[in-house]
């Protein structure tokens, strides 16, 4: 039944419907045939971007699907509410932001997740605060999956900065963790002061770890000393290791000495990560490895030799030499 | 004493026992089968939710998300020369954004290492394996592919057993999540995506996830990938397929839904590496090391006041060979039940302890009552009723009621489980396979249950007598046209 219309749909999806004939043909489809074609349109809508996505959205609107989805947001069926939210996110309907917000506290987990996803897809930063609140526990279960919240916030752009700052001060460790991660992925430099505090004082190990990772990405010269401080033996092993890696991400030459000192640490994974960070710091870092590697057998030598061998296999040593 | 006197005395003894236990035995079977039915319903609810959201759940987006964590696949191996290259190729090709494969060779005496070195162009690397977990087998060396980029690490060590080998793999792991996989297991291409999703959903709380293990016997495998799901011909295997579906998939899904999953199969379990290190890794001295590990994690997390979750993923993820001979099956069941007993005994302090919430108040008592003691009560009930019936002590209505409650109800529960599984996943596409599964659900009650109950008691008894635990030999049939592989039996495996 759908065979005659398949080529029109493919033309729209592939962006080859320049004259709009394919869309016109699909707009004119009678209801029974459209109902059968609709799942394919929805599936394609989730996969395409740009003009083809806009054209598919227009097609959905022409068939009244967007209006229908708005109505379904208050359906008694959780399946319908979730699907309606999903559809409104797919068509990126800005008018859906307000009606989607209450669904973030829906009793059904699927509805909450789809509402958060849709708000992220629409990308209106007005929804950032409510989406972040959705992360809080809901009757003992996670409100909205952390990854959905993180992706939604990232999709909302730079205007979520104030919300992130509020989130970093949240009492809920899951909220702080997501905000710390988003701050790193979205390069929110304004979050750095709070991240430094969280790294130093937070009671949750995951939050401290996320803060360290993010400082490695968005921090500056001044953060070298902070990260170095958290590689000291009094800190938890996991945090020391993450900070050693973050120093490599930060890429500041001020960390060379501290990383070189870690090569002889009793925590051998920490030594290995410090050596890897030195490799990533380029020729100066590699030079820090060469002297212990050439020296007498010992902990530092072992870490340095291992990192240099691996760097050699990866061709990083010649690159370093060329750069030097 | 004449024969008739002996029979009369025996009849009076059986009658006296039956007067006491007749009612409780029926109630026991009624409760155990009803509890299984409840677990099936919970699992069915979970599956229904799972399928409802399949069209928009965004599983792959979850893994590609900023919160997606990397995975280290630890493959302990001992004399796996026939399958190891295919297995590692399949693992490296798994669909996942960030994973490494760490093969730990437990002192193989065949060409396992040479096979790997040739296939992946391995070169030695002066890389240390940090001793985060204490291990027994001395490390020999570390190899990586010559390109330095393929995420494969081979660690060679002296033979020290599977658990210790996995602990070495945990030490060598560099990603934050660790999964243990046997070299002869077949993974679904999306296995890591499915099993890591709970970690992406709730990264600060989820500490472990388990995946569904299914029987691979009879299936068509090409290059380490499942091509066609089929049922093996031996009824011994078919009955185990039913068992796996009922107990491993539906049972554990139900416990996960209830929030008290205490057993993740050692054939496919994913854990946070830092949690594994905190709790001390696998216990090399435990014969039920997978169960023992999850119990230890529960105790550790609760004792330390940590908010945590252990989840089960209903998606089929791993396929493994089940025993095809009675001898191997007997050995396996003895080992499982011994492991169950020793672990439950080790953690007896958690039993009915309110401090441990649902785990202590529901899951552990359930395992004591309906997993540990079940084979004893089942065999005792069966023998008593049969003997009483022969001696005329037990009347026909009671015998029929016993059969109905103990076996008829159990068959019904199994059929419900198979229906839920088929409606949810529909992995067996051939009608004859479905027919055979239904037939196996019935045949299971005719000898198989009684035999496995006996073997489980043997395992329990061996532990009580302090006999040295033996892993036994798992004879592998191999996949497809690969030659049959018989795994030698090192002392510690």
Q: What is the 3-state secondary structure (H, E, C) of B322-377?
A: CCCCHHHHHHHHHHHHHHHHHHHHHCHHHCCCHHHHHHHHHHHHHHHHHHHCHHHH
| Residue B406: DSSP 8-state | I
List A residues 166-185 in contact with B (Cβ-Cβ < 8 A): 173-174, 177-178, 181-182, 185
CB contact under 8 A, B49 and A110: yes
What pLDDT was estimated at residue B471?
Answer: 62
Mean pLDDT of B271-297: 95
CB contact under 8 A, B128 and A238: no
Task: Pick the residue of A85, A103, A146, A307 with the most B CBs within 10 A to test the interface with B by mutation.
Answer: A146
Assign B484 a pLDDT band (cuts: 50, 70, 90): very low
What pLDDT was estimated at residue B493?
Answer: 37
For residues A115 and A123, what is the distance between their CA atoms, to the nearest angstrom?
12
Query: Cα dist. A296→A291, B125, B308 in Å?
Result: 10, 18, 46
Of A86, A142, A310, the CB nearest to B125: A310
Please give the mean pLDDT across all residues of chain B: 87
Percentage of residues of chain B with pLDDT beyond 90: 45
Cβ pairs A/B, distance under 8 A: 101
What pLDDT was estimated at residue B479?
Answer: 55
The tally of CA atoms less than 13 A away on the side-chain side of residue A138 is: 19
CB contact under 8 A, A305 and B126: yes
* Termini Cα distance of chain B: 52
Assign B480 a pLDDT band (cuts: 50, 70, 90): low
What pLDDT was estimated at residue B48?
Answer: 76
Chain A residues whose CB is inside 8 A of the B148 CB are: 310-315
Assign B60 a pLDDT band (cuts: 50, 70, 90): low
Chain B residues whose CB is inside 8 A of the A110 CB are: 49, 52-53
Chain A residues whose CB is inside 8 A of the B169 CB are: none
Chain A residues whose CB is inside 8 A of the B129 CB are: 268
CB contact under 8 A, A182 and B66: yes
- Using the Cβ of A150 and the Cβ atoms of chain B, whether some distance falls under 8 Å is answered with yes
The answer to which of A275-289, B52-66, B392-406, B476-490 has the lowest mean pLDDT is: B476-490
CB contact under 8 A, A310 and B123: no
Of A164, A107, A169, whose CA–CA distance to A132 is shortest?
A164
The residues on B that touch A, with CB distances below 8 Å, are 49, 52-53, 55-56, 58, 61-62, 65-68, 123, 125-132, 144, 146-149, 200-205, 274
Mean pLDDT of B139-164: 95
Task: Provide the token pair at A114.
Answer: 């789809």
CB contact under 8 A, B200 and A147: yes
Q: Give yes or no for residue B178 having a pLDDT over 90.
A: yes
Inter-axis angle of helices A192-201 and A222-229, nearest 10: 20
- Using the Cβ of A191 and the Cβ atoms of chain B, whether some distance falls under 8 Å is answered with no
- Using the Cβ of A306 and the Cβ atoms of chain B, whether some distance falls under 8 Å is answered with yes
Closest approach of B149 to chain A, Cα-based (Å): 6
CB contact under 8 A, A142 and B201: yes
Of A268, A311, A313, the CB nearest to B130: A268
Nearest CA in chain B to A265: B130
Of B127, B129, B202, the CB nearest to A146: B202
CB contact under 8 A, A312 and B148: yes
Of A288, A230, B102, B168, whose CA–CA distance to A307 is shortest?
A288
Task: Pick the residue of A69, A147, A176 with the most B CBs within 10 A to test the interface with B by mutation.
Answer: A147
Chain A residues whose CB is inside 8 A of the B128 CB are: 268, 271-272, 302-303, 306
Chain B residues whose CB is inside 8 A of the A179 CB are: none
Of A146, A237, A269, the CB nearest to B67: A146
CB contact under 8 A, B49 and A269: no
Nearest CA in chain A to B172: A269
CB contact under 8 A, B56 and A306: no
pLDDT digits (tens, 9 = 90+) for B429-470: 788 888 888 899 889 888 899 999 999 999 999 999 988 776
Each of the 324 residues of chain A gets a pLDDT tens digit; together they read 667 788 889 999 888 888 888 889 999 989 889 998 998 898 888 888 889 999 999 999 999 999 999 999 999 988 899 999 999 999 999 999 999 999 999 998 889 999 999 999 999 999 999 999 998 877 767 789 999 999 999 999 999 999 999 999 999 898 999 999 999 988 888 899 999 999 999 999 999 999 999 999 999 888 999 999 999 999 999 999 999 999 999 999 999 999 999 999 999 999 999 999 999 999 999 999 999 999 888 899 999 999 999 999 998 886 544 444
CB contact under 8 A, B65 and A147: yes
- Using the Cβ of A262 and the Cβ atoms of chain B, whether some distance falls under 8 Å is answered with no
CB contact under 8 A, A206 and B203: yes
CB contact under 8 A, B62 and A147: yes
Mean pLDDT of B328-343: 94
For residues A261 and B243, what is the distance between their CA atoms, to the nearest angstrom?
56
Q: Which residue has the higher pLDDT, B489 or B420?
A: B420
Query: Cα dist. B4→B10, B12, B216, B387 in Å?
Result: 10, 12, 54, 15
Chain B residues whose CB is inside 8 A of the A205 CB are: 274
């Amino acid at each position: 039944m759908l065979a005659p219309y398949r080529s029109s749909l493919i033309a729209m999806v592939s962006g080859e419907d320049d004259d709009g004939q394919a869309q016109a043909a699909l707009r004119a489809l009678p209801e029974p045939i459209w109902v059968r074609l609709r799942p394919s349109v929805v599936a394609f809508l989730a996969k395409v971007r740009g003009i083809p996505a806009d054209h598919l959205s227009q097609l959905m609107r022409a068939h009244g699907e967007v209006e229908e989805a708005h109505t379904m947001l208050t359906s008694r069926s959780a399946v319908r509410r979730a699907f309606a939210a999903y559809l409104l996110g797919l068509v990126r309907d800005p008018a859906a932001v307000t009606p989607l917000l209450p669904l973030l506290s829906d009793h059904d987990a699927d509805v909450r997740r789809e509402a958060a996803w849709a708000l992220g897809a629409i990308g209106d930063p007005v929804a950032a605060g409510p989406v972040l609140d959705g992360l809080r526990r809901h009757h003992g279960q996670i409100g909205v999956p952390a990854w959905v919240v993180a992706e939604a916030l990232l999709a909302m752009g730079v205007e979520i900065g104030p919300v992130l700052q509020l989130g970093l001060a949240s009492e809920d460790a899951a909220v702080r963790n997501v905000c710390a991660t988003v701050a790193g992925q979205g390069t929110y430099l304004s979050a750095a002061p709070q991240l430094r505090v969280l790294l130093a004082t937070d009671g949750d190990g995951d939050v401290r770890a996320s803060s360290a990772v993010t400082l490695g990405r968005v921090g500056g010269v001044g953060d070298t000393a902070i990260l170095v401080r958290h590689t000291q033996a009094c800190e938890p092993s996991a945090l020391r290791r993450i900070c050693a890696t973050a120093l490599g991400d930060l890429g500041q030459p001020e960390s060379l000495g501290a990383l070189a000192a870690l090569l002889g640490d009793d925590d051998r994974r920490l030594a290995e990560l410090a050596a890897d960070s030195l490799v990533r710091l380029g020729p100066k870092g590699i030079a820090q490895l060469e002297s212990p590697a050439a020296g007498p057998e010992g902990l530092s030598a072992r870490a340095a030799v291992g990192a240099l061998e691996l760097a050699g296999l990866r061709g990083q040593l010649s690159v370093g030499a060329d750069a030097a | 004493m004449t024969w008739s006197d002996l029979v009369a005395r025996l009849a009076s003894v059986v009658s006296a026992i039956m007067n006491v236990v007749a009612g409780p035995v029926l109630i026991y079977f009624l409760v155990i089968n009803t509890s299984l039915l409840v677990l099936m319903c919970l699992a069915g609810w979970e599956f229904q939710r799972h399928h409802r959201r399949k069209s928009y759940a965004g599983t792959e987006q979850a893994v590609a998300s900023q919160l997606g964590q990397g995975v280290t696949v630890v493959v302990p191996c001992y004399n796996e020369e026939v399958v190891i290259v295919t297995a590692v190729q399949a693992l490296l090709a798994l669909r996942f954004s960030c994973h490494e494969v760490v093969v730990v060779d437990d002192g193989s005496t065949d060409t396992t290492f040479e096979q790997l070195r040739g296939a992946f162009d391995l070169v030695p690397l002066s890389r240390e394996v940090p001793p985060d977990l204490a291990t027994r087998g001395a490390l020999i060396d570390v190899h990586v592919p010559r390109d330095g980029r393929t995420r494969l690490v081979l660690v060679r060590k002296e033979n020290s057993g599977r658990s210790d080998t996995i602990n070495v793999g945990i030490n060598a792991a560099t990603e934050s999540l660790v999964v243990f996989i046997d070299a002869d297991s077949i993974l679904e291409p999306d296995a890591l995506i499915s099993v890591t999703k709970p970690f992406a959903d709730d990264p600060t709380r989820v500490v472990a996830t388990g995946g569904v293990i299914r029987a691979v016997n009879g299936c068509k495998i090409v290059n380490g990938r499942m091509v066609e799901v089929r049922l093996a011909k031996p009824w011994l295997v078919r009955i185990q397929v039913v068992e796996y579906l009922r107990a491993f998939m539906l049972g554990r899904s139900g416990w996960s839904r209830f929030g008290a999953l205490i057993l993740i199969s050692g054939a496919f379990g994913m854990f946070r590496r830092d949690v594994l290190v905190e709790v001390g890794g696998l216990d090399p001295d435990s014969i039920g090391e997978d169960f023992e590990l999850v119990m230890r994690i529960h105790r550790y997390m609760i004792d330390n006041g940590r908010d945590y979750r252990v989840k089960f993923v209903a998606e089929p993820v791993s396929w493994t060979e089940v025993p095809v001979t009675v001898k191997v099956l007997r050995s396996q069941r003895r080992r499982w039940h011994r492991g169950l007993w020793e672990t439950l005994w080790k953690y007896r302090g958690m039993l009915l302890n309110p401090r441990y919430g649902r785990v202590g108040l529901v899951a552990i008592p359930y395992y004591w009552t309906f997993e540990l003691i079940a084979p004893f009560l089942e065999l005792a009930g069966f023998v008593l009723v049969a003997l009483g019936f022969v001696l005329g002590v037990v009347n026909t209505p009671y015998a029929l009621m016993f059969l109905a409650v103990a076996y008829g109800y159990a068959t019904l529960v199994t059929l419900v489980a198979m229906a839920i599984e088929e409606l949810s996943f529909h992995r067996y596409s051939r009608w004859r396979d479905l027919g055979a599964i239904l037939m196996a659900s019935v045949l299971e009650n005719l000898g198989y249950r009684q035999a496995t109950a006996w073997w489980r008691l043997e395992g329990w008894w061996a532990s009580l007598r302090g006999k040295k635990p033996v892993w036994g030999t798992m004879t592998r049939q191999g996949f497809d046209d690969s030659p049959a592989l018989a795994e030698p039996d090192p002392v510690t495996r």
